[in-house]
Structure 1
Amino acid sequence: MTPAARRDALKGLVSAPGITFATPPILISPAPYFDLAGEQFGARMILTQGTDGTEFCLRPDFTLPIAMDHISSGAATPAAYGYLGPVFRQRAEGPAEFVQGGMELLALPDAGAALDRIIAFARAVLDLYGVVTPHMRVGDIDLFETLLAACDMPEVWRPRIRARFGHPEAMAALLDRLASPHGAPEGPAGMKLDDIIDWVGELMLSNGLSLTESRSPEEIARRYVEKQALEAAHVPAPTIALLRDYLAISGPAAEALAAIDRLARASALDLGDALAKAETRVAALQTGLAAGSLVFDAGFSPRLDYYTGLTFEVTGRRGEVLVSGGQYDRLLRRLGAARDIPAVGCAVWAERLDEEVAR
């Protein structure tokens, strides 16, 4: 089958009966990406401006514009969307255009059935491109969040640790910092907030700084008070060791999940249904995709905090990601929906799959 014929067949998969074929604009607002994906992803976007100064980006993915359009038509309305077209991202050698296809299932009432449908779609794509026994990496965000909620630590640190999940270097740096003795914070310790605001304002004026052109004295003071609270909130050493041990677990799925169970039991933590659900989801993925190898990586997650539950990626012979997917029940609420909405999706990189066939 020629690449063009495979592309036509892929379009057939993403526009089959019961699936709405989505065609979001190529020029879209970058604001949601900066809000949800942060500066690191933002640095990979290709930005431009209209004649009136309005900022746009070339579409870096399909998931966010599809989710925003879905909210406008009713966030809780069950829907299946397919797509196939160009996305644009910066890379080391310059701006690039890639062809991405995929499926997004939003607000379906049976989350398990929705995941099975996404797995079946991924398997159909791999069959189309002749990837018979794929290599896979899998993670489970619910499992980490359950462990984090059960750990002994001040509440102020839980969201900060969660925000670094999926960022190995940032997580390691934070755990190193938490493991080090805290020095006494500099500045007016013990002062009330209003007094700290006055103190910051006086310092700014005495150093020739404007009180209005940059961060205000109140913003600086509130950040200082927050920092004091963090410095005073010690995370116990056993908790830091537990998090390090958990994040280091990676290997064949059955062995890795058993290691997580042993670690939790040794720490007298109850992972509740989260571990059983992770085992069920991983088994469905391994069976449905007929994985040649499947590694469960306890620290694996997209660098986006709206993901929940299972995440996975299929890699080629040279390690390139060919297919990736996961559950992202928090996305629609982060975009304006009144509550979390069940959502699961899968993206495929058509040109990488073509290259995999050529090898």
Structure 2
Amino acid sequence: MTVDLVRGMRDVLPAEYTLSRHIQTILERTMSAYGFQMLDTPIIEHRELYLRKLGEDLVGKVYEFSFGGRDLALRPEWTASVLRAYVAGMQDQPLPLRLSYAGPVFRYERPQRHTYRQFTQVGGEIIGGLPPRADAEVIALACAGLAAVGVTDYTVRIGHIGLARELLSRFNLPERTRGLLIWSLERLRAEGIAPVRERVLANLGTPPEGLELPVGIDDEQAVVWLERVLAAMQIDLRTGTRSPSEVIQRLLRTLRRADEQPLVDAALDRLVRLAAIGGSPDQAMPQLADLLGVDSVAFRELQAILELLEAHAVPSTCITIDGALGRGLHYYTGLIFEIYDREGNQLCGGGRYDDLVGALGGRQPTPAVGFAYGLERVMAAAAIEDKDAPQTILVAAVHDDDYPYALRVAGRLRASGYTVVLDVRRRSVKDNLRDATRRHFTAAVIVGADERAGEYIVWRDLATRTEQRIPFAALGGKV
């Protein structure tokens, strides 16, 4: 069990860790410039927090376990945890509230290139932010962070859950069936209509044999018919935890499922048209207008987001409209987006989730929108020079008597902002210079009797192989 748990996870060695921390710092700094404040949440949460709204694809990847009589889970994503923290302790804060975060998440999925079962998300949420301005801001912020780490060649795929919801509102289908159809959009494009139809209808179930409703009766007549049938079968509805009326209504919903099949077929025909729409805004928006009408609330909202992205200076050439975009998380209610690098790796994603605060026990309905980077994938796509990284200096004493002076030199250099490595192996001068060069240190300072007596150092630049003599008193600033 232990071996299987860690398979697909990995150690992050010093060089990679240093670079990832540098990139993470840049992303955090970018979000801070937009007014986002950092918070942290536990890695372990109650399992129920994630099972409510994640969707079946992600729920199946949650590391879950029981301990102390409680059902727990390792955090598979940050949004639900952040919203739980907001509901628990920040509902008295003025809105909108911009919160950012960074830390590990865990998903039991097949490891592949730049995809691990433990990875790091860096992201932010605007709680109380209204569309379209807050939606456009999170996309613009996501792009700004990528630009800051040197990722300039990317594609922003944008969709809107409201488009599918509006199409399905034209059919008299239960909310559960609509949900199944909406979250089958990506499968609809990838697999075609037949397997999706089969899956949706299988989830609807079939009426018990011999209890099909008579054709043409309405719900009131159906209730009377069911009461007579159950009475004739001598079935007592008062023995369970539900009232007889609740049992009748539940059974009626089951029997009505057969009536949903023609509606499901008609709804799928519309969704196929939506899933087929994709391309640049100039290409896709007219197609969406034809399908939904220019008076569609979701269409107008999407149009407004695109106009604001232009004002944010996000190039329209990097934007693709995707009618089938779903992201697999069932808490989304409006805008959804993903950003991909030129090799097709997803770097970040997010969207709007106006119902999640209420679902987690918030005092009042609160709109919210957010996004998260996958740090490991951003790092693989980044092209930056670590100009802010401290320079590393080797300080070595020739003899034991020189070591106290070497310590003074090291302390002064550290106070000036350098990273200083002291020789603790009593190497020779030649070996120390060779070791410092091999480690790509910036410079070496070898301290001997002359330097100690004269209160100076000799700074050996390892890249240019030049030397300069510097008084100890002058080591207050960078060389």
User: Which category describes the TM-score, using the shorter chain as reference length?
Assistant: 0.7 to 0.9
Give deviations 1:100-148, integer Å, cap 9, x for gaps.
100101013x543322431332122111221213112110122222232
Instruction: Describe the shift of the 1:121–1:226 C-alpha distance in structure 2 as closer, same or farther (beyond 3 A).
Output: same
Paired residue for 2:211? 188
Matched, 1:129 2:127: no
Paired residue for 1:41? 58
CA distance in 2, matches of 1:244, 1:139: 15
**In 2, are the aligned partners of 1:45 and 1:89 still within 8 Å (CA)?**
yes
In the alignment, which of 245, 250, 253 is matched to residue 273 of structure 2? Answer: 245
Matched, 1:227 2:254: yes
**In 1, are the aligned partners of 2:207 and 2:254 still within 8 Å (CA)?**
no
CA distance in 2, matches of 1:278, 1:21: 29
Paired residue for 1:263? 291
Secondary structure in structure 2 of the residue aligned to 1:192? helix
**Alignment-mate amino acid for residue 228 of structure 1:** L
Matched, 1:166 2:193: no
**Alignment-mate amino acid for residue 148 of structure 2:** L
Structure-to-structure mapping, 1:194-233, within 5 angstroms: 196=230, 224-233=251-260
CA distance in 1, matches of 2:300, 2:87: 32
For this pair of structures, how many residues does the alignment match?
338
Give deviations 1:166-225, integer Å, cap 9, x for gaps.
32376644546899xx998622234525855996979xxxxxxxx99xxxx999986653
Q: Structure 2 regions of 5+ residues with no counterpart?
A: 1-17, 214-224, 385-479
Matched, 1:63 2:91: no
Paired residue for 1:53? 69
CA distance in 2, matches of 1:352, 1:37: 22
Structure ID, larger Rg: 2
Q: Report the CA distance between 1:158 and its aligned residue.
A: 5.5
Paired residue for 1:276? 300
**In 2, are the aligned partners of 1:143 and 1:271 still within 8 Å (CA)?**
no
Paired residue for 2:403? none
**Which gives a bigger RCO, structure 1 or 2 (Cα 8 Å, sep 6+)?**
1
Q: TM-score, normalised by structure 1?
A: 0.79
CA distance in 1, matches of 2:144, 2:80: 24
**In 1, are the aligned partners of 2:347 and 2:378 still within 8 Å (CA)?**
yes
**In 2, are the aligned partners of 1:197 and 1:221 still within 8 Å (CA)?**
no
**In 1, are the aligned partners of 2:334 and 2:352 still within 8 Å (CA)?**
yes
**In 2, are the aligned partners of 1:86 and 1:97 still within 8 Å (CA)?**
yes
CA RMSD of aligned residues (A): 3.7
Paired residue for 1:330? 355
Instruction: Describe the shift of the 1:244–1:226 C-alpha distance in structure 2 as closer, same or farther (beyond 3 A).
Output: same
CA distance in 2, matches of 1:199, 1:87: 54
**In 2, are the aligned partners of 1:323 and 1:348 still within 8 Å (CA)?**
yes
**In 1, are the aligned partners of 2:132 and 2:301 still within 8 Å (CA)?**
no
**In 2, are the aligned partners of 1:135 and 1:291 still within 8 Å (CA)?**
no
**In 2, are the aligned partners of 1:45 and 1:90 still within 8 Å (CA)?**
yes
**In 1, are the aligned partners of 2:36 and 2:100 still within 8 Å (CA)?**
yes
Q: Report the CA distance between 1:8 and its aligned residue.
A: 2.1
Q: TM-score, normalised by structure 2?
A: 0.61
Identical pairs, percent: 24
In the alignment, which of 356, 360, 366 is matched to residue 341 of structure 1? Answer: 366
Give deviations 1:232-258, integer Å, cap 9, x for gaps.
244286655333222222222221121
Paired residue for 1:357? 382
Q: Report the CA distance between 1:301 and its aligned residue.
A: 1.9
CA distance in 1, matches of 2:83, 2:49: 11
Instruction: Describe the shift of the 1:198–1:218 C-alpha distance in structure 2 as closer, same or farther (beyond 3 A).
Output: farther
**In 2, are the aligned partners of 1:247 and 1:298 still within 8 Å (CA)?**
yes
